[in-house]
Homo-oligomer: A and B are copies of this chain.
Amino acid sequence: MNTTKKVGRPKKFDRDQALNTAVNVFWRKGYDGASLTDLTKAIGINPPSLYAEFGDKEKLYRLAIEHYASNDACKPLVVFEDQPQIRAAVSEFLNEVIVYSTRHESGAKGCFLSSCVATTAGEVEGVQSLMKKAIESTEKRLVARFEKAKSEGELGADFPSKQRARLMFDLRQGLVFRARAGCSAASMKKELERWIDIILD
């Protein structure tokens, strides 16, 4: 009864797709580097439509961050949760980090949060707390996967899930930083096996 057609001229854009496009533009150019012209042209709408839908540039930016953080835009996490074997999960997580930070659809390298949003943490209101939330939420999911492996007997009962989740997450930052600097996927995959050992003990 509420999914029926609405009165008035129909929108010519999809909100989620627009947010996804906005993420990609911000990812490539940064918050200050991305102009309203960049954003509206990429989304395919005119400024008034953008302002009616998202408020202003700052609000759009925060919405883009939330969209990225919530929408499984960070594929490595999904892979990590879905792999049935824990060692394969860790391996695929790190592999996927390398893939998505070197070949993302946005054309940008690295990670949206750590290679781009981080710059605005002290400048744009609310960004720092969004970053912290994203970190906590990600670590929580990493820990949960380790705990699942423990309950299934894949990992010992004394396996320090929280510690290893943090370790894996921090190592990830190194990879996406290298990717942003232009390091090749191949060069980053070299040490991967050793890292898996370290993470799983």
Contact = CB atoms under 8 A, between A and B. Distances in A.
B181 A119 contact: no
A3 interface: no
A135 B171 CA distance: 15
A68 interface: no
Contacts of A121: 109-110, 115, 180-182
Contacts of A167: 171, 191, 194-195, 198
Interface string A161-184: 001001101111111111011110
A-B pairs with lowest CB-CB distance, top 5: A170-B174, A32-B32, A173-B173, A131-B181, A30-B119
A17 interface: no
Interface stretch (A46-54, A56-64, A122-130): A122-130
Contacts of A169: 174
Given A32-B32, A33-B32, A131 B175 contact: no
A71 interface: no
In this complex, the member of A107, A173, A176, A183 whose beta carbon has the largest number of chain B beta carbons within 10 angstroms is A173
Interface of A: 28-33, 107-110, 114-116, 118-123, 128-129, 131-132, 135, 163, 166-167, 169-178, 180-183, 191, 194-195, 198
A109 B132 CA distance: 13
Given A31-B32, A118-B180, A170-B174, 20 more contacts: A28-B123, A30-B120, A30-B123, A108-B122, A114-B114, A114-B118, A118-B181, A121-B181, A128-B181, A128-B182, A132-B181, A163-B191, A163-B194, A167-B171, A167-B191, A169-B174, A170-B175, A171-B174, A172-B174, A173-B174
A116 B119 contact: yes
Contacts of A191: 163, 166-167
A168 to B, nearest CB: 9
A88 B192 CA distance: 27
